[in-house]
Every structure is written in C-alpha cells, then in structure tokens.
Structure 1
Amino acid sequence: MNTRAIKVQKQGWIPKKERIWVIVAIIIAASIMLWELKGLSQLSLTTLHSKQFEHTFKDFGSNARIALFFVLAYYVLLRVIKLDYLKGQANVKKRLSTVLRFARRWHTPVAILAIAFIILHTVAVFMHGFKFDFNNISGLLSLIVLLPVPISGLFRYQRMDRKWHLRSGVAFAILFLIHSFL
C-alpha cells in the first residue's frame, strides 16, 4: 500500500479541517428541520390547502435555491480560473483563487443546509397536495437525482467516487434549474 492510500485510510471520512464545520452544519440543518417540521405538523387542513401555505413551501425552496447557487459557484469559479483568457491576468487569478478557496471551504456546510431546505420544501409540497404537473414532476426528478450527490461526496473525500459527485451534481443542477425557472 502506498503512503497516499495509508494517509487516506487514517484521516476518516471527512478531513479534520472540514469536520467541525460539517458537524456544525449538520446540527444547524437538523435543528431547522425539526423546528419547521414541528410547525408544519401543527397546521390545520384548511391552512395546508390555502394559498397562503404556498408561500411557506416556496420560501423553503427559495432558501434552498440561494444556498445551491453558492454551492454551484465553486464549480463555476473552478472553470473560470482555468480559462485561457485569464492566462496573463495574474492579479485577477489571485483574487479569483481567494474567492475559490472561500467557496471550497463553505461548499459542504452550505450544501448540507440546502439539502435541509430541499427536504422541508418537499415535505411541505406533499402536505399541500402533490399535482402531476411539469413543476412538481421536475422537482421530484431533481430530488431523485440529488440523492446520490451527498453519498458520492463522502466518497469524494476518500478519492473513491470516480467523478460521480461531479456528474450527479451537474445532472441535479440542470434539473434544479429547470424546476426553479420554468
């Protein structure tokens, strides 16, 4: 076994420098979910089927959308920094690399919070009443495609994902954008 494989085995599933922020994000996401699910479970049937309740689950979706744009910004910045157009622009590349490091550091914690809001959005939509229309079907498809993303993200830390995290993330991003804007 080479030294890289031994180092990967010893570090655990999540690297030490990211572990604290991932744990904090999981605690915050779980707290938000429990609080909101408790509130949703106490609503009456007339409230659940009212026009006002639509704003509630749309707000969960909007919060998830904002968080997901931040999560996807990491990949956009990664592509932009590799552009041939920026070869002679050392100052611009230096600033972009600073922003890229910030986006990389917060990619996983913000993604965990986004998943919490997506779950709340999904639960609220089903409580309101699921209709077989384009918007709900595209949302359900994007949710199904989202399921392997965090799992392959864990494998990504171990360098065992064979780019599944990126591939399933891009597929989710496309379906998510269709769901959000069409």
Structure 2
Amino acid sequence: MKRNMGWQLLALVAGLVLTVEARAQEVSAGAAGSFGNTGQIVISSDFRATIGYTSVSGPGDQFLIDLRPSVDYFLKENLSLGGTVYLGTAFQRGDDPLLVGVGIRGGYNIPLNSSVSVWPKLGLAVAHSDGFLGFGERTFLEVSLSAPFLVHLAPHFFFGAGPGLITQLGDDTVATLHVSAVVGGYF
C-alpha cells in the first residue's frame, strides 16, 4: 500500500508540474502578441470608407472616395481611446464636393478565442460637407456605434466586419444602419 501511494504522489506532482508549465506558456504567448494589451497602438481604416461609382440625377455619374483612417491606444487591458479623420470627395461634372471631419472614440475589445474578438466602439465626430452624398453644404455632429468582429490571422494584423449605427445631427438628421469592414494592424 505504501508503494502505491509513492507512485500516486509522483504522478500527482508530475501532473501538477506539467499543468503549471503549460499554463505559464499559454499566458506568456497570449500576453506577447494578443490584441488589446495595455500600451498597444492600433492603426486602422474603417471601411465604411467607400470607393464607389454611382449614377445619380443632377450632377450625373459620380466616383466616390470616403476614407476614415483611425488611430487607437489601449489605456488599460482591452480598453481603447482613439481618433479618426474623415476625408471624402466625389468626382463628378461640375464642382467636386468635399467631406472633412475629425472624431474621437472609445472601445472595449472582447476576446472570443485566440484568433477572434469583437471590438465595440462608440464615437463622436464633427464634420463639414459642401455637398458630399447630395446633402448640400452642412456642418454636423455624428454619433456612431459599431461592433466589428475581428479575425487575427497573423500577429499584429486583423480584419473584420460588423454592424454599425451612425446618426448625423445638424440641419438634416440622418440615421444609417450598416455593415462595415475594418482592416488594421497594431504594435
């Protein structure tokens, strides 16, 4: 009986050592390259950024470019604060309308597994348009909420898509529910 207890004790100690070693490797691998660590800087573009071609009455056919480059910083584990710049134009007959703006946003990354997370963000921006997307000249406040699901296929690179809601408040109030894509990297 005493001999069996010795083997059982040895097996128990070996199992505990292997479990602790495996857990330590898992934590250090996740801490080194996972998205959302404190101090990470994320550079991305939300592809509500549009490059498109539309045919409309009035000015005629338009070729649109609407870019929204963004930079975010993780203040704490998974908690981000960032900013974005709005740059848009439409090439058409006559004057080319322009969209410019700047905004701030906060987000919280929620890891779902080792390669997928969801990163909901709430943003506030001020923008000016002189006829972009047919709204005429106006300055507006934009409140946005998005929740893209991110896929981290390679270290420091992600892409994703998800639902979003944008409300523009000004002379004309516009609410848009959409699905947008995002691509970015972090260091």
TM range (shorter): under 0.3
Query: Which one has the bigger helix percentage?
Result: 1
TM-score by length of 2: 0.24
> Larger RCO: Structure 1 or Structure 2 (Cα < 8 Å, ≥ 6 residues apart)?
1
Query: Which one has the bigger strand percentage?
Result: 2
TM-score by length of 1: 0.25
Structure possessing the higher radius of gyration over alpha carbons: 2
